[in-house]
Every structure is written in structure tokens, then in C-alpha cells.
């Protein structure tokens, strides 16, 4: 059986869900600018939906995937996906300045889960991509 390149695997995944994805990168600085890393924006789209997620490598936190949009009218842009320990469902959490706490906002939509899992598997900082490089 012939080996399939990482790029072909990515394309097959996207094609199977009718998605396209454009990726861009930017340099991020953290703390007192003593730590920097590249962050990546994945712009997923199909005929009806656009989902923009960021993949970032943070110091001491590892890799995070954030929405580049508001997950609720009550929130500003951003958040983080967490897995509910009881239901195992992915939820968006957002940080609220007033309470200085993260709060669960809503479950990820079917489309958001597909895009999130794409980055988990094929993102720049994914174990698969790191193993090949």
C-alpha cells in the first residue's frame, strides 16, 4: 500500500467534509517579550460557514486552539475548548474580565469540532506534523 503524504492526508480530510482551509502565520510575543513563537490562523470555509481558529504554542501551557471570533454575544473574541469530564463533549470556555474566571459558554458545533480535530491532527504543532519534520 503506497504511503500518503501529510499534505494529501490534510486535503483528503478537508475534502471529506466539503471544506477548504487557508493558513497564515504570525509571530507572537509573551510575557516581557522574552518568549516568542509562531502562531497560526486556520480559516476554514464551505458554502455556508466560515470558522477561524488559531493554533498557538504558549510557554508552560503547550499548544492551545482558540476561536478567532466571539463564541457568544456576551463574550469578546477568543476562548478555549475544553472537554467536559462527564459528557466528554467539547465546550467553548471564555474568560470574563468582571469575574476573572473562565466560564463554559456552549458546546462546539459539529462544524467547529471537525475544524478543531483537523488542527489537533494536522496542525503545525500536532504530534503528526512534528514527527514528520
Predicted TM-score (pTM) of the model is: 0.83
The average pLDDT across 18-47 equals: 86
pLDDT for residue 31 is more than 80: no
Pairing, β 35-45 against β 20-30: antiparallel
Cα distance between residue 107 and residue 91, in whole Å: 4
pLDDT for residue 1 is more than 60: no
Cα distance between residue 88 and residue 82, in whole Å: 9
DSSP 58: E
Phi, psi of 33 (to 5 degrees): 65, 15
Cα distance between residue 123 and residue 40, in whole Å: 9
Find the range with the poorest average confidence among 6-15, 25-34, 36-45: 25-34
- Between 9 and 4, the more confident residue is 9
Find the range with the poorest average confidence among 8-17, 29-38, 43-52: 29-38
pLDDT reported for residue 97: 65
Cα 82 → chain centroid: 11
DSSP for 40-81? EEEEEE-SS-EEEEEEEEETTTEEEEEESSBSSTTS-SB-EE
Residue reference for cell 471537525: 114
pLDDT reported for residue 2: 64
pLDDT reported for residue 22: 95
Cα 10 → chain centroid: 15
Distances (CA, A) of 79 to 33, 67, 91, 97: 22, 6, 10, 12
* Average pLDDT value for the chain: 84
pLDDT for residue 133 is more than 90: no
Amino acid at each position: 500500500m503506497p504511503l500518503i503524504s501529510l499534505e494529501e492526508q490534510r486535503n483528503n480530510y478537508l475534502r471529506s467534509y466539503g471544506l477548504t482551509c487557508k493558513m497564515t502565520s504570525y509571530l507572537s510575543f509573551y510575557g516581557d517579550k522574552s518568549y516568542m513563537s509562531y502562531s497560526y490562523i486556520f480559516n476554514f470555509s464551505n458554502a455556508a460557514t466560515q470558522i477561524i481558529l488559531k493554533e498557538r504554542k504558549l510557554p508552560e501551557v503547550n499548544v492551545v486552539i482558540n476561536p478567532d471570533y466571539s463564541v457568544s454575544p456576551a463574550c469578546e473574541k477568543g476562548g478555549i475548548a475544553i472537554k467536559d469530564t462527564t459528557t466528554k463533549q467539547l465546550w467553548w470556555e471564555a474568560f470574563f474580565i468582571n469575574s476573572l474566571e473562565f466560564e463554559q459558554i456552549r458546546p462546539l458545533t459539529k462544524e467547529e469540532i471537525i475544524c478543531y480535530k483537523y488542527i489537533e491532527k494536522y496542525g503545525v504543532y500536532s504530534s503528526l506534523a512534528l514527527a514528520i519534520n
